[in-house]
């Protein structure tokens, strides 16, 4: 991709109303544009990141037998009246009337609709277990939206729903999603911390949050140092809580094993038994022809929130530092002297070769060297190939690692072989 063809409106100055690093950098790097309070447009750089996050999520969810769907964003109020949540959910729900004066809502979550789909088509216990998931937009009318997409009103979310014949099978499903989430967050370059949690408005009696460590996180986490060396099947039982639940008098963690860090919630899973299947009369028949209400679970990941969380966990005073798995491009090519014939020749050769194998953004803009280098650090692509006039005379270019700042000088062919598989 040529930068002259790419829409990335970077800003030199930090917007005054942006209070945390991810909000500041997402605005400055041209990732998002605010439309209304807590509502943002996602621009090309952010779109590429969010699609890569979604791809990782889909791969890991498909691996455990989940089925991807798209529920509707607008739902009839009747579904929520059946479950008893239409009034109970409160003012966060955006309620709508259509031209026929029918009551609808913009989806804040999809337990009711998933249950409705299930009861329409599944009649026998032989069809269980079933897990459906989607990655779709949601709306919750936060009373105080803040911190950019970290606590917005419109957001992209992965939400999944499971239906099992009994508690033992539901527990296996819950555990498989738990492990799948650990793999997802690790693939995104994050350190996940599973935290014992409440189910809140969704309901239920088995619940874990997934927090990631970040110095600017909203939560304070208290956890066992052994968490990072534990096997995945041990993590459900390793003690970790947020500050409001931590009590040193009752803590099971020895003081010398206690770790304290800031964290950001990026996922939440719930088991809520038959709360929705019973209230909405979603049943199957067992081998005796008896009605059985499936045990259900709900599994969420804040996909758009993850973009901000990754930035909070990985940035410096110059800009974003993207993990390779989610970076909008794998490498950026900086032609520092676009009016120099040698620099242009070398840059095009590198670009043509690498673009066959890796996503590359070629900065061919006619701007100052300082602006070009500053934008590259701000946007945060992991690798920078820098073509300068003096090095070009010797057929040499520089390769910079955005995270470490290390720079090596090498020939064009050496650089190309580094990226072309």
Instruction: Determine, yes or no, domain membership for 273.
Output: yes
Residue 64 sits in the same domain as residue 192:
yes
Residue 296 sits in the same domain as residue 412:
no
Residue 295 sits in the same domain as residue 351:
no
Look up the CATH number of the domain holding residue 223.
3.30.930.10
Adjacent-strand bridge partners of 260: 222
Residue 353 sits in the same domain as residue 393:
yes
Helices (H), 70-223: 77-83, 85-88, 111-121, 167-187
Q: How many domains does the chain have?
A: 2
Residue 32 sits in the same domain as residue 124:
yes
Instruction: Determine, yes or no, domain membership for 7.
Output: no
Residue 398 sits in the same domain as residue 275:
no
Residue 305 sits in the same domain as residue 351:
no
Question: How confident is the prediction along the chain (421 residues), in pLDDT tens digits per residue?
Answer: 999 999 999 999 988 889 999 999 999 999 999 999 999 999 999 999 999 999 999 999 999 999 999 999 999 999 999 999 999 999 999 999 999 999 999 999 999 999 999 999 999 999 999 999 999 999 999 999 989 999 999 999 999 999 999 999 999 999 999 999 999 999 999 989 999 876 554 444 589 999 998 887 888 999 988 888 888 888 888 788 888 888 888 888 888 889 999 999 999 999 999 999 999 999 999 999 999 999 999 999 999 999 999 999 999 999 999 999 999 999 999 999 999 999 999 999 999 999 999 999 999 999 999 999 999 999 999 999 999 999 999 999 999 999 999 999 999 999 999 999 7
Half-sphere exposure of 343 (CA within 13 A, CB side): 21
Residue 102 sits in the same domain as residue 162:
yes
Instruction: Determine, yes or no, domain membership for 30.
Output: yes
Question: Can you give the pLDDT at residue 400?
Answer: 98
How far apart CA 70 and CA 136 sit, in angstroms, is: 7
Question: Can you give the pLDDT at residue 199?
Answer: 53
How many C-beta atoms lie closer than 10 Å to residue 319's C-beta?
22
Instruction: Work out the angle at residue 114's Cα, subtended by the Cα atoms of residues 108 and 116, and round it to the nearest 5 degrees.
Output: 115
Strand order of the β-sheet with 74-76 is 74-76, 103-106, 94-97
Residue 342 sits in the same domain as residue 307:
no
Q: Which residues of 255-275 are buried (b: 16+ CB within 10 A; e: fewer)?
A: eeeebebbbbbbbbbbbbbeb
Look up the CATH number of the domain holding residue 354.
3.40.50.800
Instruction: Determine, yes or no, domain membership for 56.
Output: yes
What's the domain range around 339? 331-419
Predicted TM-score (pTM) of the model is: 0.94
Instruction: Determine, yes or no, domain membership for 321.
Output: no
Instruction: Determine, yes or no, domain membership for 151.
Output: yes
β 331-335/192-196 pair status? unpaired
Instruction: Determine, yes or no, domain membership for 322.
Output: no
Cα–Cα distance list, 60 to 180, 181, 267, 304, 417 (Å): 6, 8, 14, 18, 31
Domain boundary pick from 290, 316, 342: 316
Instruction: Determine, yes or no, domain membership for 178.
Output: yes
């Amino acid at each position: 991709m040529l930068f002259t063809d790419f829409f990335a409106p970077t800003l030199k100055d930090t917007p005054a109303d942006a209070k945390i690093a991810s909000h500041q950098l997402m605005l400055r790097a041209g990732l998002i544009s605010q439309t209304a309070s807590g509502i943002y447009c996602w621009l090309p750089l952010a779109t590429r990141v969010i699609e890569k996050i979604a791809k990782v999520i889909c791969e890991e969810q498909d691996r455990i037998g989940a089925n991807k769907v798209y529920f509707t964003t607008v739902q009839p109020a009747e579904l929520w009246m059946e479950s008893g949540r239409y009034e109970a959910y409160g003012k966060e729900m955006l309620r709508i009337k259509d031209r026929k004066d029918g009551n609808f809502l913009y989806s804040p979550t999809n337990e009711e609709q998933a249950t409705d789909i299930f009861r329409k088509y599944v009649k026998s216990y032989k069809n269980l277990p079933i897990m459906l998931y989607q990655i779709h937009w949601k709306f919750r009318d936060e009373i105080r939206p803040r911190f950019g997409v970290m606590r917005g009103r419109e957001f992209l979310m992965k939400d999944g729903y499971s239906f099992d014949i009994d508690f033992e099978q539901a527990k296996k499903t819950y555990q498989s999603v738990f492990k799948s989430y650990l793999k997802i967050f690790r693939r995104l370059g994050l350190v996940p911390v599973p935290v014992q949690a409440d189910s809140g408005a969704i309901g239920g009696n088995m619940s874990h949050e997934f927090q990631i460590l970040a110095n600017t996180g909203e939560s304070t986490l208290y956890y066992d140092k052994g968490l990072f060396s534990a096997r995945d099947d041990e993590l459900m039982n390793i003690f970790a809580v947020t500050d409001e639940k931590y009590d040193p008098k009752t803590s099971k963690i020895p003081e010398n094993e206690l770790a304290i860090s800031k964290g950001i919630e990026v996922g939440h899973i719930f088991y809520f038994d038959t709360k929705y299947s019973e209230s909405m009369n979603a049943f199957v028949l067992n081998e005796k022809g008896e009605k059985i209400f499936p045990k259900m679970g709900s599994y969420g990941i804040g996909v758009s929130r993850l973009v901000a969380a990754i930035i909070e966990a990985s940035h410096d005073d110059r800009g974003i530092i993207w993990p390779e798995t989610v970076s909008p491009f794998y490498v950026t090519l900086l032609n520092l002297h676009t009016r120099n014939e040698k620099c242009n020749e070398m840059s095009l050769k590198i670009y043509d070769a690498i673009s066959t194998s890796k996503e590359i953004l070629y900065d061919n803009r006619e701007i100052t060297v300082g602006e070009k280098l500053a934008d590259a650090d701000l946007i945060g692509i992991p690798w920078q190939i820098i073509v300068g006039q003096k090095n070009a005379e010797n057929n040499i270019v520089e390769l910079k690692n955005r995270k470490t700042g290390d720079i090596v000088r090498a020939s064009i062919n050496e650089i190309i072989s580094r990226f072309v598989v």
